[in-house]
Chain A
């Protein structure tokens, strides 16, 4: 039954490992998280789920699996005969203990009695000599003097209040949903991982002492690179048109990125990249910057993040004069390639749900241009995008 629960969790895409499942079993065998389903819920969550953004999904799976099985829970988790009876194997008992078991009418009889009593007993029971509970003299339950015995928590109460996992209190923490700036910041922060490079220019005292000692006292100076967040980010944002629906989300991303990266540059474009971009959206028609200038200004080390819904006519990407705003001499795809030739680390974040991607031709085209480096503008999507940013793109043959 617990194995079923475990499989159910894994099928739902929750990253639970065997170790954690064994932890859960160990806990149950020590009477942690037994007695009622509520306690079991808390304890299994404690053991199995290590990320609050998965709490909501866990709640749903838990509800899904245990709905209608509450009574089965009382019988099975609180006794767990299947697993535990194997542990409390007959062979593991001493002769003396075996004699006591015999007094009960033999192993088979013992198990039979257990099942009967579990069925007959509907209330918690402590003390006494027959029913299952704690501190009794019955062979079942803990503290019972039947050695090794069959350890059981008392069966739970029947009716229960509103269940915690049905309230879905952690809905806001689910990582697949779009969230506030803090969550974006956390996601963006992992870009820090790729920032530990640079010249060795500070004295590494520990290593110097160690090396000097190994050198029999002759000074051997060791240097190391300073740790710094040297990552440079170039953010190119689509504005206007169909992007208006996603304004709030993009603002969140922008403010998160600005507080996360010291070297963040941003420019705007409309629908797709052509020969110019602009910095200030109010003066977009007077104050533009030619794309070649952009390529000259920023070094190859810059990580480029495009943000746009990529939803347009495919001509706007592939044809000359395809832009909706002006006559472009060369198709946007060629400009995109020029950017990629200079900046090898590019990703595209798309606020549109990925369900729509396959049915929108322009998204498919751009995704191909981006060598599949298109991700949804959600916490998970950003995490994937950041992962992708760590490896450079494969240079492609120019389009013309």
Chain B
């Protein structure tokens, strides 16, 4: 049950293996569009393990991943004289980690974009991730993981993570795919793509990433979108000859350059280049 669209590099494979063997959380960073989130989904599929996803927002608190005590419902029920009100555990809402800990199988937990939350967030999870257990204050019970889940944490570098947290994790930086890997990725998505079109499109794409001063470098997903457009138009590869990059905007550049300033910058570069040629 593997998704052939997802190409995993040897390095990443080893990192995941190590995290599995030593039961440490794996912190994954990388440029946007390098498949950080997809990794956890992929691992869960390959291991045939249940996946618990926790998408972190700026307002997310650490205890929400463990459990929440729904006091408002209980208050309402008490007014209505509901029988359930006598048992406080009826009002404990399980969080992602609770579900993962009590899962019968070894689970995969994804904590996505941990840097979005408050800076204290990772510190608040230290004990829970270390010991894989936590206390429920309201019912005075302790939830301990039956099997230590594999925890994948992604970060976009928006905040620095605390040292104490980093010490407990393995860290892997997903480098931007090189040409070979990228070709594999594209072929996995569009198996029927013409070889010459792919080659010249790749040249344009990687040249474009080299252009200095771009606000947003095009990433994998943008390349895939762009190729989709190119395939749909059934363009001959000649229209993309890579030396043309410096003389005209590539076709359908809207899929690659998503920022007005970037398009302007690019046009300026083309203009300068033309002047120099004269």
Interface residues of B, CB < 8 Å — how many? 30
A window 94-121: CB within 8 A of B: none
Interface 9-mer from A44-52, A316-324, A341-349 = A44-52
CA distance A213 to B72 in the complex (A): 11
Chain A neighbourhood of B119, CB < 8 A: 193
B window 96-153: CB within 8 A of A: 119
A46 pairs with B71, CB closer than 8 A:
no
Chain A neighbourhood of B71, CB < 8 A: 209-210, 213
Interface 9-mer from A20-28, A62-70, A71-79, A291-299 = A20-28
B36 at the interface (CB under 8 A from A): no
B175 pairs with A46, CB closer than 8 A:
no
| Contact-size category for A | 20 to 34
Contact of A190 among B160, B168, B215 (CB under 8 A): B160
A1 at the interface (CB under 8 A from B): no
Contact of A39 among B14, B27, B169 (CB under 8 A): B14
Nearest to A20 among chain B residues (CB) is B167
B166 pairs with A43, CB closer than 8 A:
no
**Nearest CB of chain B from residue A335's CB, rounded to whole Å:** 35
**Nearest CB of chain B from residue A208's CB, rounded to whole Å:** 10
A169 at the interface (CB under 8 A from B): yes
B window 17-52: CB within 8 A of A: 17-18, 21-22, 24, 27, 29
A190 pairs with B22, CB closer than 8 A:
no
Chain A neighbourhood of B251, CB < 8 A: none
A280 at the interface (CB under 8 A from B): no
A230 at the interface (CB under 8 A from B): no
Contact of B18 among A27, A169, A190 (CB under 8 A): A27
A170 pairs with B173, CB closer than 8 A:
yes
B158 pairs with A52, CB closer than 8 A:
no
Residue from A32, A39, A169 having most chain B Cβ neighbours under 10 A: A32
A221 at the interface (CB under 8 A from B): no
Chain B neighbourhood of A51, CB < 8 A: 166, 171
A23 pairs with B29, CB closer than 8 A:
no
B157 pairs with A46, CB closer than 8 A:
no
Chain A neighbourhood of B160, CB < 8 A: 190
Chain A neighbourhood of B166, CB < 8 A: 50-51
A158 at the interface (CB under 8 A from B): no
B22 pairs with A30, CB closer than 8 A:
yes
Chain A neighbourhood of B161, CB < 8 A: 50
A33 at the interface (CB under 8 A from B): yes
A46 pairs with B21, CB closer than 8 A:
no
Chain B neighbourhood of A49, CB < 8 A: 171
A23 pairs with B158, CB closer than 8 A:
no
Nearest to A27 among chain B residues (CB) is B22
Chain A neighbourhood of B17, CB < 8 A: 32
Contact of A26 among B22, B27, B157, B167 (CB under 8 A): B22
A32 pairs with B21, CB closer than 8 A:
yes
* In the complex, per-residue mask of A188-215: 1 if CB is within 8 Å of any chain B CB, else 0: 0110110000000000000001100100
Nearest to A46 among chain B residues (CB) is B170
CA distance A351 to B17 in the complex (A): 43
With known contacts A30-B21, A32-B21, A209-B72, A186–B157 Cβ distance under 8 A: yes
A23 pairs with B24, CB closer than 8 A:
yes
A46 pairs with B29, CB closer than 8 A:
no
With known contacts A23-B22, A181-B215, A189-B158, A50–B169 Cβ distance under 8 A: yes
* In the complex, per-residue mask of B162-193: 1 if CB is within 8 Å of any chain A CB, else 0: 01001111111101000000000000000000
Nearest to B215 among chain A residues (CB) is A181
Nearest to B165 among chain A residues (CB) is A50
A17 at the interface (CB under 8 A from B): yes
B15 pairs with A47, CB closer than 8 A:
no
CA distance A42 to B170 in the complex (A): 11
Nearest to A16 among chain B residues (CB) is B167
A55 at the interface (CB under 8 A from B): yes
Chain A neighbourhood of B171, CB < 8 A: 46, 49-51
A42 pairs with B22, CB closer than 8 A:
no
**Nearest CB of chain B from residue A17's CB, rounded to whole Å:** 6
**Nearest CB of chain B from residue A229's CB, rounded to whole Å:** 11
Nearest to A15 among chain B residues (CB) is B163
A window 237-294: CB within 8 A of B: none
B21 pairs with A186, CB closer than 8 A:
no
B14 pairs with A43, CB closer than 8 A:
yes
With known contacts A27-B22, A186-B158, A213-B71, A42–B215 Cβ distance under 8 A: no
**Nearest CB of chain A from residue B208's CB, rounded to whole Å:** 15
* In the complex, per-residue mask of B61-82: 1 if CB is within 8 Å of any chain A CB, else 0: 0000000000110010000000
Chain A neighbourhood of B225, CB < 8 A: none
With known contacts A19-B167, A52-B173, A46–B158 Cβ distance under 8 A: no
Chain B neighbourhood of A32, CB < 8 A: 17-18, 21-22
A interface residues with partner B (beta carbon < 8 Å): 15, 17, 19-20, 23, 26-27, 30, 32-33, 39, 42-43, 46-47, 49-52, 55, 169-170, 173, 181, 186, 189-190, 192-193, 209-210, 213
12 contacts between A and B (CB under 8 A): A20-B167, A23-B22, A32-B18, A33-B18, A43-B14, A46-B18, A46-B172, A50-B169, A169-B175, A170-B173, A186-B157, A192-B159
B interface residues with partner A (beta carbon < 8 Å): 11, 14-15, 17-18, 21-22, 24, 27, 29, 71-72, 75, 119, 157-161, 163, 166-173, 175, 215
Other contacts beyond A42-B14, A46-B14, A46-B170: 9, CB < 8 A: A19-B168, A27-B21, A33-B14, A39-B14, A43-B14, A46-B18, A47-B170, A51-B166, A189-B159
